[in-house]
Amino acid sequence: MNTTEIPELAKKAIIIFKETGAASPSILQRKLRIGYGKASLVIGWLEENGKLSKKKNDPACGEVLSANREKVEKALEYNAFAKLSPQDWVELLPDYETQADAINAWKYFDNTTWAKILAKESRYNVLADNQNIWEKFDNNDWLTLLRSDDEYIKYADKYNAWAKLKNWDWCRLLSANCDFIDRAKRCKAFEKFDSADWKVLICSQPQFARFAEEMALKQIKKEEESAKAENRPPKKNTLWDSFSGFAWASVIVVDKKFFLPIVNRHNGFEKFSGEDWALILNFDFSFFKNVAEKFSAFQKLDSKDWKEILVI
């Protein structure tokens, strides 16, 4: 870390504390877009240099105004805290935790409010336990929590939250963190994915391309066995067969050498529009030009497609 970084951040912190009338790491995290650790270092530097007292939220030495105390006193005088909505508390916590406790604001929070607050501060999980809120969470609430902190994985396990997640929830989780793959397998989430889900997942996490191909090959084998037993031609019903031209174009640029034989095997290029061809030709003209010639793609291109290809 640069030796001048903390003092420079401290200067900005003083301005922020004067504007907000409060001093806490969470305020610096939001305003300066820094992590909790660095925010704590800034607070520590201010305390050591006499710019801030060590008493929580008690600005001192004239550098930071005590306006927050005045705000709170006036808000109490007009019973303002009782008028705040759950969404207001999402924005104000944890800085006004004492006031939330005083009026027991927690009991008015719905599951969505709890999810947002817990995503900001995992230490409120004890309060959530007291409110029996975990079982009330829906798929969106669990998605908010699981994307915010690994701390909530154990809660998801305990309350079987995984069963509530829908395709898109799994897709967003896996796109951000591959560590959820084992749980997705146990819940058979991949079996429910459509082409849009796979496209997003592969584009964000290319390693899932090989996993998808393994699944597709198993699907082909299973269908061939069923077709033979039923004395009928095998159907084309693998996950790849549902891909649109745009989905194929999106994934082939992720790993062109890996996907080229797969797209050919599933007649994917026949689904391409001029826009899809423009996408891959712009990405790597030398690699895809022969494929484009083979499928007479250049005849399908309009002026908009050519412009996309020609953009450097």
d(CA 277, CA 269): 9
Residue 269 half-sphere exposure, CB side, CA atoms within 13 Å? 23
Which among 283, 275, 291, 292 has a CA at the least distance from the CA of 311? 283
H helices within the chain, ranges in order?
5-20, 25-32, 36-48, 67-77, 86-92, 97-102, 111-120, 125-130, 139-148, 153-158, 167-176, 181-186, 195-204, 208-229, 245-252, 256-265, 274-283, 285-294, 303-310
pLDDT at 19: 66
pLDDT at 121: 84
Instruction: pLDDT tens for the chain, 312 residues: list them.
Output: 567 788 888 888 887 877 666 777 878 887 888 888 888 898 888 888 877 765 544 444 344 445 567 788 889 999 999 999 999 999 988 778 878 888 999 989 999 999 999 998 887 888 888 888 999 999 999 999 999 988 899 999 999 999 999 999 999 999 988 889 999 999 999 988 989 999 999 999 999 999 999 999 999 999 999 999 999 999 988 899 999 999 999 999 999 999 999 999 999 999 999 999 999 999 999 999 999 999 999 998 999 999 999 987
Give how far Cα 177 sits from Cα of 54, 147, 174, Å: 38, 8, 5
Instruction: Specify the pLDDT at position 310.
Output: 93
pLDDT at 213: 95
**pLDDT computed for residue 53 by the predictor:** 66
Q: How far apart are the two ends of the chain, measured CA to CA in Å?
A: 38
Give me the pLDDT at residue 58, please.
46
pLDDT of residue 116: 94
- What is the predicted pLDDT for the residue at 271? 96
pLDDT at residue 137, as a whole number = 96
The pLDDT value given to residue 43: 87
Taking the C-alpha atoms of residue 284 and residue 274, their distance in angstroms, rounded to an integer, is 16
Amino acid at 187: C
Is 0.85 topped by the overall pTM? no
202 by Cβ neighbours in 10 Å (0-12 / 13-18 / 19+) ranks as buried
Cβ contacts of 8-14, under 8 Å, gap ≥ 24: 9/34, 9/38, 9/42, 10/42, 10/45, 10/46, 10/49, 10/51, 13/42, 13/43, 13/46, 14/46, 14/51, 14/63, 14/64
Q: At what angle do helices 195-204 and 208-229 cross, to 10 degrees?
A: 150
Nearest of 174, 199, 218, 309 to residue 259 by alpha carbon? 199
Q: How far is CA 81 from the centre of its chain?
A: 32
Number of Cβ atoms within 10 Å of the Cβ of 259: 19
